[in-house]
Amino acid sequence: MRKNLNVIAAYSIMMGLIILVGIFQSWNIALSIFNLCLISAVMTMGANIQWGYAGLINFGIMGFTALGGLAAVLISVDPVQEAWSAGGFNILFSLFLIIAMVLAVRYILKNYKKSKNRTYIVSAIIILGIVIIRFISEPGIEAIEGVNPAKTGFLGGLGLPIIFSWVVGAFFAGGLAFVIGKVALGLRADYLAIATLLISEIVIAIIKHEDWLTRGVKNVIGLKRPAPYEVNLQQTDWFISLVEKFNLSKLNLITDLTERQATLNQLVIEGSSVFVKLCYSGLFLVVVIILLILTQKALYSPWGRMMRAIRDNEEAANAMGKNVVKQHLLIFVLGSAIVGIAGAMLVTQDGLFTPGSYRPLRYTFLIWVMVIIGGSGNNFGAILGGFVVWFLWIEAAPIGLYLVNLTTAGLDDTHFLKVHLIESVPYFRFLMMGVGLLVIMRYRPKGILPEKIEIK
Amino acid sequence: MDFVNAIILLLNYIFVPALAYGSQLALGAIFVTLVYGILRFANFATGDMMSFGTMFVILFTFYFQSVGISFGVLPTALLAIPLGIIFMIGYMLIIDKLVFKYYRINKSPPVQLAMVSIGVMFVTQALVRIIIGPSDRRFFDGEKFLIKAGEFKEMTGLNEGLAIKSTQVITIIVTLILVSTLFWFLNKTKTGKSMRAYSDNEDLALLSGIDPKKIVMITWVIAGILATIGGALYGLDKSFKPFTYFNNMLPIFAAAIVGGIGNPFGAFLGGYVIAFSEILLTYAYRKFFMYVLPESMEPDGLIQLLSTDYKFAVSFSILVIVLLYRPSGIFKGKVL
């Protein structure tokens, strides 16, 4: 108990801050911060597995997040029958060709010795394959994108409940991580960082521009929800009576019947959106707790010990007979899969998929700031980092505004400096993140909750 | 005649723009490579440092314009660049003293320095946005075209016009002057040689009595010059927007690594490799083949290898391929 005191204290402070937001701003804002904190926590757990456990730098978090989001679309949207009949065959045939191409290349690479001829044959297969695939897929893609472009213009998905996409998103991201890991994990640390950063940009470029699959920058809106809709809630009797019960003391103060009814309606509308957010919080909390239990178990298992050994001294671990390459690949896939879950959760919560919104600053670098500030190698630290940084990211504007008003109190309201500073308040969050990261790296390099090595 | 038309077409749409874009990338790539070679970390704040320098240039340009100073047919920004450079070097030295020095003295691993540079990236980005705002800004003035497409057509009697923007010419000339001065400095002067020695083998250089503080300071000074000029040229040619500069970090990194990181000459050529491959692979060759091939063989489609949406993806794919098959870059060899 005693040694966990700092963890408990840190989390209580964090919860207290969110509750304060609930009291002073509104419960709606507090809950939406809380939900995104939970999603960020899942992402940081993924990054922490890679960086904290194994020392692998993955700057491609954005790509895995986007793939998770894509999974949400492909699972939950109803299939567009017309599009399938228009171009489905071409797409399936191209997919088959891609698989055949990969298998052929693999076969050649495996069965023939390295030589110039082999390189030529492999590149010939790839180039020829790409040309053929383009010829076959082009008419199909055009046909699909031509089907009712304002509303669909893509193949649609499977029409399953969106919650399944959390698992599928993990598989998508894990699959991509497997491919990236196979080719790039041999690189030195900073090269790996740059390579993953660029690969994630390629993933985003594909998602943005392959309209037949993702609708691209036209966005997919109105995804299914695992939670009830506000409009439906506002008309259900049990919900109205629940809200009435909660606010009985407040309502009893109002004597006028019509006024009472109006207040109740207002409360029901507010309550419904809070209730929906609570549903999401519950779902996300379940995911976070399950992942936390699993990652904690893994961290203190012999496997976790081996990962730390590899991280701290690769050569020594290799000499002890541990397969460093294989373990690196495994952990890269696992961490990325967790990030994929978070990506699907994010799209589920938003109810829309906007490929244009995936930017490295928000989805890669911010997550890294979270991990470093929270404490890499420590799951509780990483989660706390997700909470703290996201909270600051949202609340930076109000805090910045307060600071600006405080420092420029002596100036006239129309003074150009004051006006300019107030206009640029939204950018104080970047400043805060940067300074926070630099201060933590300098004075507490292991993060708020540093890694503890316990020998059990 | 058709053949000449085809050549002019390629010159107009591929060669000249790629040369200008490549020069802008090359300056950034040399900046990355110098920092990597001497200070030994991947600087993720590259793009934002370039936008920071450009911001000063823009502010001075606006000041000059408001006072009424102009540079004739040339853009006023050229006058503002030296002032911008001074401020930029100041900023870099301050950042180095406050942030990077501590880790350098402690001999932290490069990864940690890269993380720190992410912190610097956030701070710089915030400063740029707070000072000048996130919106698109054009600060070009003076004569826009050196040769206009219409004039060229009249002059030569060809079907295809060749338009050369003055910013493109300025970019290429300034880059050539700057880069040749830099190579002269690195190869011929004593300070330059000691920088190369430091990058090659730090311990040996220290034993030979090279002052590391001086080397680091000069590196930041050169980096400041490169960042400001590279950023200002890009801004003159296109426009200044902090977010674009941040994104430019990616092709710049690609250029530096493709050329062999730590090797300035490689970085210089790497910039052109990236620029040319981006433009060559995404250009629609339909018109070119219409000129070259006989009429019966005219193509139907656009003859475009990749859609322009994948412009960035091209350079990254090249980078990934280079990283996998030749991690030391195309132009490997000695470091710096």
Q: Which residues pair with B164 in a beta bridge?
A: B147
A195 pLDDT higher than 80: yes
Q: pLDDT, tens digit, for every residue of A382-393?
A: 999 999 999 999
Residues A112 and A70 in one domain: no
Is any Cβ of chain B less than 8 angstroms from the Cβ of A437?
A: yes
Residues A433 and A413 in one domain: yes
Which domain range does residue B14 map to? 2-325
B335 in any annotated domain: no
B109 in any annotated domain: yes
The mean per-residue pLDDT over the stretch A214-226 comes to: 85
Residue of B nearest to A127 (CA): B305
Residues A275 and A382 in one domain: yes
Residues A212 and A350 in one domain: yes
Which of A114, A130, A155 finishes a domain?
A155
| Encoded tokens for B60 | 């001075």
| Encoded tokens for A402 | 């307060």
B255 pLDDT higher than 80: yes
Given 3-state DSSP classes, what are the helix, strand and coil percentages for chain B, each rounded to the nearest 5? Answer: 75, 5, 20
B119·A431 Cβ contact <8 A? no
As for how many domains chain B has, the answer is 1
A256 in any annotated domain: yes
Sign of CA dihedral A428, A433, A436, A442: negative
C-alpha Rg value of chain A to the nearest Å = 26
Portion 73-102 of A in contact with B at CB < 8 A: none
Residue of A nearest to B112 (CA): A441
Q: Which of B102, B109, B254 lies closest to A198 in CB terms?
A: B254
Please list every residue in chain A whose beta carbon sits closer than 8 Å to the beta carbon of residue B121.
Answer: 365, 434
Q: Which residue has the tokens 């920088």?
A: B195
Contact pairs from chain A to chain B, CB under 8 Å: 120
Q: pLDDT, tens digit, for every residue of B259-312?
A: 888 888 889 999 999 999 988 888 888 778 878 777 777 666 667 777 777 887
B247 in any annotated domain: yes
Which of these, A94, A134, A55, A90, lies nearest to A335 by C-alpha position? A55
B332 in any annotated domain: no
| Amino acid present at A75 | I
A453 in any annotated domain: no
Between the alpha carbon of residue A281 and those of residues A271, A385, B164, the distances in Å are 15, 18, 58
What is the C-alpha separation between A157 and A80, in angstroms, rounded?
8
Residues A85 and A228 in one domain: no
| Encoded tokens for A52 | 């904290």
Secondary structure of residue B328 in the 3-state scheme:
coil
pLDDT confidence of residue B143: 80
Q: Which of B126, B246, B324 lies closest to A434 in CB terms?
A: B126
B130 pLDDT higher than 60: yes
**Least confident range of A171-180, A192-201, A409-418, B226-235:** A409-418
Q: Which residues pair with B99 in a beta bridge?
A: none
Neighbours of A232 (CB within 10 A): 10
A445·B112 Cβ contact <8 A? yes
Q: Which residues pair with B304 in a beta bridge?
A: B284
Residue of B316, B317, B325 to mutate, interface with A, max A Cβ within 10 Å: B316
Residues A232 and A347 in one domain: yes
Is any Cβ of chain B less than 8 angstroms from the Cβ of A204?
A: no
B217 in any annotated domain: yes
Model confidence at A300, pLDDT cuts 50, 70, 90, reads confident
DSSP B159: S
End-to-end Cα distance, chain B: 46
**Least confident range of A313-317, A348-352, B138-142:** B138-142
B316·A433 Cβ contact <8 A? no
B211 in any annotated domain: yes
pLDDT confidence of residue B336: 39
Q: pLDDT, tens digit, for every residue of A310-344?
A: 988 888 999 999 899 999 999 999 999 999 999 99
DSSP string covering B59-103: HHHHHHHHHT--BTTB-THHHHHHHHHHHHHHHHHHHIIIIIHHH
Residues A51 and A88 in one domain: no
Q: pLDDT, tens digit, for every residue of B148-167?
A: 878 888 887 777 778 888 89
Q: Which residues pair with B284 in a beta bridge?
A: B304
Q: Which of B119, B253, B320 lies closest to A437 in CB terms?
A: B119
Query: Are the CB atoms for A396 and A366 separated by under 8 Å?
Result: no
B319·A198 Cβ contact <8 A? yes
Distance from the A299 Cα atom to the nearest Cα atom in chain B, whole angstroms? 23
Instruction: State the maximum Cα–Cα separation within chain A, in Å, rounded to a whole number.
Output: 91
Q: Which residue has the tokens 């034993």?
A: B207
Which of these, A59, A82, A70, lies nearest to A196 by C-alpha position? A59
Q: Which of B111, B134, B307 lies closest to A209 in CB terms?
A: B307
Query: Are the CB atoms for B33 and B94 separated by under 8 Å?
Result: no
Dihedral of CA atoms B273, B278, B280, B281 in degrees, nearest 10, equals 130
**Least confident range of A43-57, A320-334, B162-176, B314-328:** B314-328
Q: Which residue has the higher pLDDT, B98 or A157?
A: B98
Pick left, alpha or beta for residue A3 (phi over 0 → left; psi -120 to 50 → alpha; otherwise beta). alpha
Which of these, A296, A298, A343, lies nearest to A176 by C-alpha position? A343
Which of these, B39, B52, B54, B56, lies nearest to B116 by C-alpha position? B39
Backbone phi, psi, residue A339, to 5°:
-60, -35
What is the C-alpha separation between B46 and B109, in angstroms, rounded?
19
Distance from the A248 Cα atom to the nearest Cα atom in chain B, whole angstroms? 48
Which of these, A375, A434, A352, A336, lies nearest to A42 by C-alpha position? A336
B230 pLDDT higher than 50: yes
Please list every residue in chain B whose beta carbon sits closer than 8 Å to the beta carbon of residue A445.
Answer: 112
Which of these, B82, B306, B43, B223, lies nearest to A206 by C-alpha position? B306
B120·A184 Cβ contact <8 A? no
Q: pLDDT, tens digit, for every residue of B37-88?
A: 898 889 999 999 999 999 999 999 999 999 988 888 888 889 999 999 999 9
B325 pLDDT higher than 80: no
ipTM: 0.89
Residues A439 and A373 in one domain: yes
Which of these, B299, B279, B272, B277, lies nearest to B288 by C-alpha position? B299
Which of these, B267, B202, B334, lies nearest to B34 by C-alpha position? B267
Which of these, A341, A284, A336, A304, lies nearest to A451 by C-alpha position? A304
Q: pLDDT, tens digit, for every residue of B204-213?
A: 988 998 999 9
DSSP B309: G
DSSP string covering B92-109: HHHHIIIIIHHHHHTT--
Distance from the A166 Cα atom to the nearest Cα atom in chain B, whole angstroms? 28
B331 in any annotated domain: no
Which domain range does residue A122 map to? 80-155
Which CATH number goes with the domain that contains B117?
1.10.3470
A15 pLDDT higher than 80: yes
A401 in any annotated domain: yes
Q: pLDDT, tens digit, for every residue of B2-17?
A: 788 888 888 888 899 9
Q: Which residues pair with B71 in a beta bridge?
A: B74
Query: Are the CB atoms for B124 and A427 separated by under 8 Å?
Result: no
A449 in any annotated domain: no
A384 in any annotated domain: yes
Dihedral of CA atoms B13, B19, B24, B28 in degrees, nearest 10, equals 130
pLDDT confidence of residue A62: 95
| Amino acid present at B60 | F
Residue of A nearest to B45 (CA): A434
What is the C-alpha separation between A345 and A288, in angstroms, rounded?
11
Please list every residue in chain B whose beta carbon sits closer than 8 Å to the beta carbon of residue A431.
Answer: 122-123, 126-127, 130
A452 in any annotated domain: no
Who's near B15: CB < 8 A, 6+ residues apart?
A: none
Distance from the B238 Cα atom to the nearest Cα atom in chain A, whole angstroms? 22
The mean per-residue pLDDT over the stretch A242-269 comes to: 82
B114·A197 Cβ contact <8 A? no
Backbone phi, psi, residue B304, to 5°:
-115, 125
pLDDT confidence of residue B300: 67
Which of A120, A138, A155 finishes a domain?
A155
Dihedral of CA atoms B109, B114, B115, B118 in degrees, nearest 10, equals 160
Residues A210 and A293 in one domain: yes
A184·B129 Cβ contact <8 A? no
Residues A74 and A141 in one domain: no
**Least confident range of A29-38, A132-141, A172-181, B9-18:** A132-141
This model's pTM is above 0.80 = yes
Is any Cβ of chain B less than 8 angstroms from the Cβ of A205?
A: yes
Please list every residue in chain B whose beta carbon sits closer than 8 Å to the beta carbon of residue A187.
Answer: 323, 327
Residues A293 and A389 in one domain: yes
Between the alpha carbon of residue B270 and those of residues B44, B251, B331, the distances in Å are 18, 10, 9
A455 pLDDT higher than 60: no
What is the C-alpha separation between B259 and B336, in angstroms, rounded?
12
A178 pLDDT higher than 60: yes
Pick left, alpha or beta for residue A416 (phi over 0 → left; psi -120 to 50 → alpha; otherwise beta). alpha
B86 in any annotated domain: yes
Between the alpha carbon of residue A341 and those of residues A32, A162, A168, A326, the distances in Å are 19, 12, 8, 23
Residues A108 and A63 in one domain: no
A427·B250 Cβ contact <8 A? no
As for how many domains chain A has, the answer is 2
Between the alpha carbon of residue A441 and those of residues A364, A435, B113, the distances in Å are 18, 10, 10
Which of A124, A155, A186 finishes a domain?
A155
pLDDT confidence of residue B259: 86
Is any Cβ of chain B less than 8 angstroms from the Cβ of A427?
A: yes
Distance from the B313 Cα atom to the nearest Cα atom in chain A, whole angstroms? 5
Backbone phi, psi, residue B165, to 5°:
-80, 145
Above pLDDT 70, what percent of chain A?
98
